[in-house]
């Protein structure tokens, strides 16, 4: 069996793969066997989920682990049967994420130590906001609670927090390719030592570009 280039894992087991996809696609409710088709379907579903979620939570909402599972299910519920459920397999993508058996307890800790501390996210200064977004983002990514879609859900949560702080929808294009992507992963890895300064810098850059773009009317 080929190894999947799409998913953040080094091993896609036979019983996890969509039949006929040559081991490249996870089993899914739509029978999709093509990476290109799945990319398109997930992207459309994510836009629809964002349109819904960005209007669902108000500025006073304190986010929970259950909320994050709901976000994942809203997005991927029509695509994967396990949407909204914590993963049962270990994952790696240049980073060894938390062991699957530890995810439920780690998400409880994430809720009490990060989400309860930083949401509702009503920080006034950009520095305080960037710090809050950076810590929540890094800790969530390092747990990587779901089988697929963790990075995109992390961006959704980060944006929802920014919206609570009266900021516009964030533009993450700068971290999705080239040197920006490398800086982003370096910032995630720094989080193993609870060093959030690199991610704070990344987030501050995203905030600045987003606000500059809003000011220019683009």
pLDDT more than 90, % of the chain: 81
Name all contacts of 205-212 with Cβ < 8 Å and 24+ positions apart.
Answer: 205/174, 206/170, 206/171, 206/172, 206/174, 206/175, 207/126, 207/129, 207/130, 207/162, 207/167, 207/170, 209/171, 209/174, 210/167, 210/168, 210/169, 210/170, 210/171, 211/167, 211/168
pLDDT band at 2 (very low <50, low <70, confident <90, very high): very low
pLDDT band at 1 (very low <50, low <70, confident <90, very high): very low
Q: What is the per-residue pLDDT across 107-155, written as a single tens digit (0 to 9) for each?
A: 999 999 999 999 999 998 999 999 999 999 999 999 999 999 999 999 9
Rounded to an integer, what distance in angstroms lies between the CA atom of residue 112 and that of residue 183? Answer: 28
Rounded mean pLDDT of 35-51?
97
pLDDT score of 170 more than 50: yes
Rounded to an integer, what distance in angstroms lies between the CA atom of residue 171 and that of residue 174? Answer: 8
Predicted model pTM: 0.92
For residue 181, the tally of other CB atoms under 10 A from its CB is 12
Strands (E), the chain: none
What local confidence, expressed as pLDDT, does residue 10 receive? 44
User: Which residues touch 138 (CB under 8 Å, ≥6 apart)?
Assistant: 187, 188, 190, 191, 196, 199
Of the options 1.10.3290.10, 3.40.630.10, 3.10.290.10, 3.40.980.10, the CATH number for the domain spanning 35-216: 1.10.3290.10
């Amino acid at each position: 069996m080929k190894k999947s280039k799409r998913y953040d894992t080094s091993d896609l087991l036979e019983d996890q793969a969509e039949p006929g996809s040559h081991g490249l696609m996870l089993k899914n409710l739509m029978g999709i066997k093509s990476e290109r088709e799945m990319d398109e379907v997930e992207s459309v579903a994510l836009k629809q989920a964002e349109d819904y979620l960005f209007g669902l939570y108000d500025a006073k909402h304190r986010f929970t682990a259950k909320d994050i599972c709901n976000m994942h299910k809203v997005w991927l519920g029509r695509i994967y049967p396990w949407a909204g459920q914590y993963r049962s397999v270990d994952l790696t993508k240049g980073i060894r994420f938390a062991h699957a058996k530890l995810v439920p307890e780690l998400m409880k800790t994430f809720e009490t130590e990060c989400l309860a501390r930083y949401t509702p996210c009503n920080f006034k200064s950009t520095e305080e906001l960037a710090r809050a977004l950076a810590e929540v983002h890094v800790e969530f990514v390092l747990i990587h609670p779901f089988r697929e879609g963790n990075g995109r859900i992390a961006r959704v949560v980060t944006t929802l927090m920014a919206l609570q702080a009266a900021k516009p929808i964030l533009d993450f294009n700068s971290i999705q390719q080239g040197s920006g992507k490398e800086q982003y992963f370096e910032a995630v890895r720094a989080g193993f030592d609870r060093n959030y300064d690199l991610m704070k810098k990344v987030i501050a850059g995203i905030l600045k570009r987003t606000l500059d773009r809003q000011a220019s009317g683009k």
